[in-house]
Amino acid sequence: MNNRSKPNAVVVDTAHSDHATLQPVPVSSVRLHDDFWAPRLETIRTTTIPTQYELLESTGRLDNFRRAAGNLKQPFQGLVFNDSDVYKWLEAAAWALAAADDPALSQAVDTTIELIAAAQHADGYLNTYFSLDRASERWSNLRDLHELYCAGHLFQAAVAHVRATGHRTLLDVATRFADLICDTFGPGDDQQHGVPGHPEIEMALVELARATGEQRYLKQAAYFLDARGRGLIGGSAYHQDHAPLREQDRLVGHAVRAAYLCAGATDLYAETGEPELGRALDRLWRRMLNRQMYITGGLGPRHQGEAMGADFELPNARAYAETCAGIANAMWAWRMLQIEGAPTHADVMERALYNAVLPGISLDGTAYFYVNPLATDGAPEPGGKIYQRQPWFPCACCPPNVARTLATLPGFLYSVSSDTVWIHHYAASQADLRLGDGRSIQLLQRTRYPWDGQITVEVLTPGTFALNVRIPGWCATEPEQLRPTVNVNSIPCPGEVAPGQYVELRRTWAVGDSVCLHLPMPVQRVSTHPYALENSGRVALMRGPLLYCLEQVDHPGVDLRDVILPDSVPLSATYRPHSLNGIEVIEGSAAVAPVEMGWQESLYRTATSTPTVRRALDIVAIPYFAWANREVGAMQVWLRRG
């Protein structure tokens, strides 16, 4: 099966959502051929997904399904929610198959689906933890035991599989289980009243409704959203049960749960357009964006409870910023973008993908970060723990989550509306798109983005339609020579070209017409809000969409906490093709100001104006996503300003 014959492999299907501005583009409709994302997605398909399959096997996750089917006599292995890792892996594999044929991967998917189907009970129930000796405990602890969370990931995998392959084998399993859940939970007197302790199924039920046309799944998602926050599972913020979502004014509690809940609520809003729900989502989004989000796009500063913090609580070395939370932020941003078509949502999604999701996986595709600090001195944490990527985790939510997210990336570059193509993200690629009015449009992107901001979009299909091209919010406005520009066939487009907007280019296009975007990428020093006290007097370096950091391996013998970056020092970018799979580094002169001898035996002392002794240092900053791929050592994002 070639790419063009793939079924409608869209990730979030808003094509028939009455309250969504934009419609999706199938993963199979965009073929990447750039030097940045295309090799990574190839690594995901050929290395990451196969090695994860081996780990699902070696850690007993697949054996749990064999056991539930009666084909293996041994205890359940691992954590109670281990089924979800299998489902996320299946989703990743399905999206990878949507983009490229792979007979071996297809066979592994079919084999895994057979295991899952064999483990399903006659009434549709499916959870290997409860399948045998714990069957009497079904639905007894919705708060902690993740039955509905696992079901949600099954539903998402099933939707991905049918959209990527056209086969209903997993979808039939999913709908039988979904029907049972709809019969079991709800407001009726003969139904169980309860909500999941980990939101996820809300997104999945909406997408299952879109894939099948079965409206009871949409109603079930609405029930779970409406019943939450009323104390049915104890009322804790950690479980997102502290208050109804429509009454909340900021994200609290477990960061992944919070963002997943908002993503599911956004899916529901796309179908219902309920004003109160829309206002709540907008309120929560703005608070998160302006007071709670790391510069990476990551969420959740607290190790305790993997939780959101207070406003401006954004520690660096003690940042938790779970990889799954960065993924959840990107997922929420994408859904908000489809509803509103607002460039801010695309900006956040881009920031999170490059700087909160991509750091979660090593360059070779075989090791992962669960926690993403913005600084470390390279020394072991209490108990001997050091920050380095791991090949797997006992709680392995992040590895398959990264795989499924990156595998869907081709479907995020574009959206369409009735007579408009929206270009959200930039990568060298060819796209075969279908407008809302049914016309087919082909576009070709040529660019070295994110290393270079020169982008050419060539039109391969004649006709009258609009191209809406995003001018990222990171673009500079001053000085004039660094302002972004947009030309059509070398003629400047009329009107303002400003950061943080879509420029509409509506015309009758001829084959070969080209749009040229020039998005200057100077190195930018970024400061933070004064109330984020840990970064007071510090700057971070960004170039284009990428955040940069200093790493110990490039500065041997230097304590990175002593590095001071003067405002006046020029910084330049240089491409190093043989470093870290090819990266653009930032180079310049800084200073090192070691701690004075008088501090060696003191924690506090009377403030003085003693001049700081400095020595010169040539610095090399690398993209944050690439740190910890060479050796274990110190790393620093926020540098002292001086």
Type and span of the H or E element at 184:
helix 169-184
Tokens of 360: 């979660």
Q: Are 56 and 62 in contact (CB under 8 A)?
A: yes
**Residues whose CB falls within 8 Å of the CB of residue 431, separated by 6 or more in sequence, listed in order:** 25, 29, 30, 31, 413, 414, 441, 442, 443, 444, 445
Task: Tell me if residue 122 falls in helix, strand or coil.
Answer: coil
- Give the dihedral of Cα atoms 118, 121, 127, 130; nearest 10 deg: -120
User: Tell me, what DSSP letter sits at residue 537?
Assistant: T
Nearest to 96 by CA among 404, 309, 362: 404
Q: Among this protein's residues, is 313 annotated catalytic?
A: no
Nearest to 196 by CA among 173, 221, 219: 221
Tell me the C-alpha distance between 40 and 362, whole Å.
10
Nearest to 426 by CA among 469, 477, 461: 469
What are the phi and psi torsion angles at 180 (to 5°)? -60, -45
- Nearest-5° angle of CA 392, CA 394, CA 395? 95
Tell me the C-alpha distance between 332 and 326, whole Å.
10
Question: Which ranges of 341-447 does DSSP label H, i.e. alpha helix?
Answer: 343-352, 398-407
Nearest to 333 by CA among 266, 246, 415: 266
Q: Which of 306, 322, 534, 584 is catalytic?
A: 306
For 208-264, the three-class secondary structure string (H helix, E strand, C coil) is HHHHHCCHHHHHHHHHHHHHCCCCCCCCCCCCCCCCCHHHCCCCCCEHHHHHHHHHH
SS3 content of the chain, % helix, strand, coil (to 5): 40, 20, 45
Q: Among this protein's residues, is 398 annotated catalytic?
A: no
Q: Which of 150, 262, 324, 397 is catalytic?
A: 397
- Give the catalytic positions in this structure: 306, 397
